[in-house]
Amino acid sequence: MSDQVGDHIRVSDFRHVLIPGRHHVVTRFQARFLADLLGGRLKDLDGEPIAPMVDAQLIWAVTSANHQNTRRNPIPANRREVAIELFSRAEGFHSLVVPIFDTPQTPRFAEITVKAIAAATGGLELTPDNSIVAVSTPAVITMYRQLGFRIAELELDHPDKPPRAWEVLEMIAAADPAWQEYAHPATIDVFQRYALPEHVRLVLGDPVVGTEGSLTETRNYRTYAASFEAAAERKWEQARPYIVPGRIVDVGCATGAMLELAGRDPELAESDLFGIEVAQHLYEECVHKKSQGAFANPNTFFFQRNILSGRVFPDNSIDTTLTFALTHEILSYAGGLEAVKALVAAIYQHTAPSGVWINSDVCGPEDGDRVVVLRFHEPGLGHASLDIGSMSPAEVTGYLDSLTPAGRFMQFARDFPHLAHASYECEVIDDRRVRLALRDAMEFVAKAAYTDNWLSECHERFCALDWASWQKIVEAAGFTVDPRSGPYRNDWLVTNRFAAIGHLTDDGGDPVPWPETHVLLVARRRGLSTWTNA
């Protein structure tokens, strides 16, 4: 507090101003506010005057510092830090920028941030006795007040109603030139030099990727990544004969397992390898693995992008594009058949003459409308399904694991049409038999074992495109289909998954063989020479 003593003003004991936030933008208002705060011209949230703070240090806690290219965090932390440093120099502030890794929502956020600052700075302890917190978010204010900190409330309830940083960011996303009236010149400088307005518009306008940088928020990425890693060598052996050396990109690269294998191939030692991954969790794992030296080829690069939202590579610049287990997710999450066509068109556009696109994914059966009977080994078709949307992931898994495959089918018949927005008609004959289209039978048996990712799997459509449909889409985009391409049946799945559930028959009881389950599609872009590696 400040008291007038003769001609002197007692200076506040506060030595630090903590400013927690994502700080994608610093504003002109923040410059004025902080100058008034340090100069002793403001009151705290309780109406008590704040004494002048001579030589006080501003502590900028940049939260979600490990997130970028998501709607919640479109700007990388290093760009945010540069803008804060330029801002501080221009305004004459003594600042310290501390990156804070993203954490799940927790009532201990304030406590965690204070401890993270101490760890990052070698022991700087921020306490209610030496620090005041400048923040405008009510929930965050509550957490710091519970720790005993006084609050300088920034934009909150200010009579001028200045836009907050995230509101300025939304102006940028909307291409509203008024954003430059509110952003500090330091932010304007950094945004213009690094073309960040265009980047913000791209990320915040993405209709597919969620707030956290993912196609779906219901996926267990740990098990998803593990299954992809386990299948990597088999998929690489499948694709390797068709690879064209040069610039090779894996779209939807997950944890980068395919590029690890490509990097070990001596014939591809001179190739540049690119991984494109939209999911924040998986992209971060790629970057982590690269820092550990997992990729033998030093020319291995990763980008967090959505290829459907804008051009990633120049036209005619990529020799080989790989997509593994991606196209069914594009169809399921990004807008159906039209999104798949957009993906194929984007790949064709960046493919060089004589280049190749290799796609490996699930595939619908050739005669998908054929009516079959799925006969289960164990009864359970009389089981009543539940509304599991409000259950925790662990509760969902436990419930599904308690059911027979037939009981699990009844839950699938409820969840799949709702989540995948697809029709799903079936006729229960008795406690072990159900009549339905071959395509719908395969949708279930392909997913019945994935109880730890049930809600995500029920959102996805595996059998929407058969081989004939794939050929039409690819050729319409301008590609030529390699004659060695085609659908095939994964017999491991037949033996270990499908046969454990039951078997298919026709209405007369005669066996119906399990149809094709996957596709290997090799699409060539014609060039001046004959097919490479053909």
SS (H, E, C) 281-305: HHHHHHHHHHHCCCCCCCCEEEECC
Beta-strand (E) ranges in 92-226?
A: 94-99, 131-134, 150-152
Query: CATH 3.40.50.620 residue ranges in the chain?
Result: 4-204
- Which helix (H) or strand (E) segment is 324 a member of? strand 318-324
Q: What is the pLDDT of residue 310?
A: 76
Q: What is the pTM of this model?
A: 0.68
> Is domain 4-204 given the CATH code 2.160.10.10 in the classification?
no
Beta bridge partners of 20: 61
Query: CATH 3.40.50.150 residue ranges in the chain?
Result: 221-362
Q: What is the pLDDT of residue 12?
A: 82
Report d(CA 208, CA 334) in Å as an integer.
5
State the DSSP string of 164-181. Answer: PHHHHHHHHHTT-TTHHH
Q: What is the DSSP letter of 491?
A: H
**N-to-C CA span, the chain:** 80
Q: What is the mean pLDDT of residues 389-394?
A: 90
Q: What is the pLDDT of residue 11?
A: 73
Q: What is the pLDDT of residue 225?
A: 57
Q: What is the pLDDT of residue 220?
A: 46
Q: Could you report the per-residue pLDDT of 241-288, keeping only the tens digit for each?
A: 999 999 999 999 999 999 999 999 999 999 999 999 988 888 889 999
Q: What is the pLDDT of residue 227?
A: 63
Report d(CA 230, CA 351) in Å as an integer.
29
**Is the pLDDT confidence value at 386 over 60?**
yes
CA distances from 261 to 95, 241, 296, 405, 411 (A): 45, 14, 9, 37, 39
Q: What is the mean pLDDT of residues 181-200?
A: 95
Q: What is the pLDDT of residue 307?
A: 85
Contacts of 197 (CB under 8 A, 6+ apart): 172, 175, 191
State the DSSP string of 381-413. Answer: TTPPP---TTS-HHHHHHHHHTS-HHHHHHHHH
Q: What is the DSSP letter of 43?
A: B
Answer positive or negative: Cα dihedral of 311, 314, 315, 321: negative
Label residue 359 by pLDDT band (50, 70, 90).
very high
Label residue 350 by pLDDT band (50, 70, 90).
very high
Q: What is the pLDDT of residue 80?
A: 96
> Is domain 221-362 given the CATH code 3.40.50.150 in the classification?
yes
Report d(CA 442, CA 463) in Å as an integer.
7
Q: In sequence order, which ranges of 404-446 are alpha helices (DSSP H)?
A: 405-420, 438-445
CA distances from 314 to 8, 319, 350, 408 (A): 66, 12, 6, 47
Report d(CA 45, CA 95) in Å as an integer.
23
Q: Could you report the per-residue pLDDT of 30-87, keeping only the tens digit for each?
A: 999 999 999 999 999 999 999 999 899 999 999 989 877 777 888 989 999 999 999 9
Is-contact 137 144, C-beta < 8 A? Answer: no
Q: What is the pLDDT of residue 300?
A: 94
Question: What phi and psi values does residue 255 have, to the nearest 5 degrees?
Answer: -95, 10
CA-based nearest residue to 156, from 29, 56, 38, 18: 29
Answer positive or negative: Cα dihedral of 232, 234, 237, 242: negative
